């Protein structure tokens, strides 16, 4: 905490004005999106009265229903797979002594965070295009694999942080009492690690649910997710139905992030 005579950025000239301007620019478009999702008219810029018309329209839209189900199924499997891989990777990089190549392995695990998403999408497109030619398979499995690979670092980081903050004395005591490694993990490590696993899984779920770039490059015909469906609608005609769908996605994402925050703070 800065002393009374030390430097404090909050006391600098114009700090409050600049901070408020940044918040307005960040959140005003989101607020307007939510407000105009309740617009009774067809315009996304002219207010014509309050209505739930576009929420009903989205709810009854068969394409929206199919895209929503596909997005939720995809996010579920991507979250499950990426979290499982992240748990094993976190254990391998925190429950062992430092070894040669550790930094390279850590960089490889977090590669999707460091490389632009468009690069990852193009690389996956090239690989999966070749696999499709060899196998003839064009199902949803490619999207599941692509999303899982992209979500691994998002699940890995909170799990690894949880492992690093755990007390090793219980695990060491269990090993001294001749418990097998699997027994130590199942009865000691996993119960303490569970909040980190839940936090990583929820974060991976949100990332997969909101992804557009990788999905747009990897998906086959008829495999639109909710974000790519919305992108397609914006290219044709813009109606408040897109605002309504965006508001629902925003609510889901905010709920998951809040849950992630509270779960990551759990200590028991």
207-226 residue pLDDT tens:
998 899 999 999 888 888 98
68 within domain boundaries:
yes
Please tell me the distance from the alpha carbon of residue 76 to that of residue 245, in angstroms, as a whole number: 19
The strand pairing partners of 50, in sequence order, are: 39
Tell me what pLDDT residue 4 has: 52
Q: Which residue has the higher pLDDT, 164 or 126?
A: 126
22 within domain boundaries:
no
Distance of CA 261 to the CA centre of its chain: 13
Please tell me the distance from the alpha carbon of residue 243 to that of residue 39, in angstroms, as a whole number: 9
Please tell me the distance from the alpha carbon of residue 90 to that of residue 155, in angstroms, as a whole number: 10
150 within domain boundaries:
yes
Q: Is the pLDDT of residue 235 over 60?
A: yes
Q: What percent of the chain has pLDDT over 90?
A: 24
Please tell me the distance from the alpha carbon of residue 59 to that of residue 232, in angstroms, as a whole number: 18
DSSP tag of 165: T
Structural domain span for residue 125: 60-264
Q: Per-residue pLDDT averaged across 103-130, rounded?
A: 87
Number of domains, the chain: 1
The answer to whether the predicted template modeling score (pTM) of the entire model surpasses 0.75 is: yes
**For residue 83, what pLDDT band results from cuts at 50, 70 and 90?**
very high
Tens of pLDDT along 151-203? 999 999 989 988 888 777 777 787 777 778 788 888 878 888 888 898 889 88
15 within domain boundaries:
no
Tens of pLDDT along 17-45? 888 999 899 889 889 888 988 988 887 77
Tell me what pLDDT residue 240 has: 84
Tell me what pLDDT residue 122 has: 92
142 within domain boundaries:
yes
42 within domain boundaries:
no
138 within domain boundaries:
yes
Please tell me the distance from the alpha carbon of residue 24 to that of residue 85, in angstroms, as a whole number: 39
Phi/psi-derived region of residue 184, left when phi > 0, alpha when psi is between -120 and 50, beta in every other case: alpha
23 within domain boundaries:
no
Q: Is the pLDDT of residue 7 over 80?
A: no
CATH of the domain at 259: 1.10.3720.10
């Amino acid at each position: 905490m800065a002393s009374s005579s030390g430097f404090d950025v909050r006391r600098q000239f114009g700090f409050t004005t600049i901070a408020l301007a940044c918040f307005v620019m960040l959140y005003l478009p989101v607020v307007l999106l939510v407000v105009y999702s309740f617009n009774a008219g067809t315009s996304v810029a002219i207010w014509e009265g309050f209505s739930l018309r576009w929420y009903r329209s989205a709810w009854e839209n068969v394409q929206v229903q199919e895209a929503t189900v596909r997005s939720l199924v995809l996010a579920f499997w991507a979250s499950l797979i990426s979290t499982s891989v992240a748990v094993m990777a976190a254990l391998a990089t925190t429950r062992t002594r430092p070894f040669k190549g550790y930094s390279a392995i850590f960089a490889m695990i977090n590669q999707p965070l460091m490389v632009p998403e468009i690069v990852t999408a193009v690389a996956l497109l090239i690989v999966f295009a070749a696999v499709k030619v060899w196998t003839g398979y064009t199902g949803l499995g490619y999207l599941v694999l692509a999303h899982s690979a992209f979500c691994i670092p998002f699940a890995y980081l909170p799990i690894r942080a949880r492992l690093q903050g755990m007390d090793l004395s219980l695990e060491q005591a269990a090993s001294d009492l001749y418990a097998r490694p699997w027994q130590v993990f199942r009865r000691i490590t996993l119960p303490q690690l569970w909040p980190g696993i839940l936090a990583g899984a929820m974060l991976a779920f949100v990332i997969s649910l909101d992804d557009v770039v990788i999905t747009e490059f990897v998906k086959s015909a008829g495999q639109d997710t909710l974000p790519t469906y919305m992108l397609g609608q914006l290219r044709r005609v813009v109606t408040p139905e897109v605002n309504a769908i965006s508001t629902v996605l925003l609510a889901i994402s905010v709920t998951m992030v809040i849950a992630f925050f509270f779960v990551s703070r759990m200590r028991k």
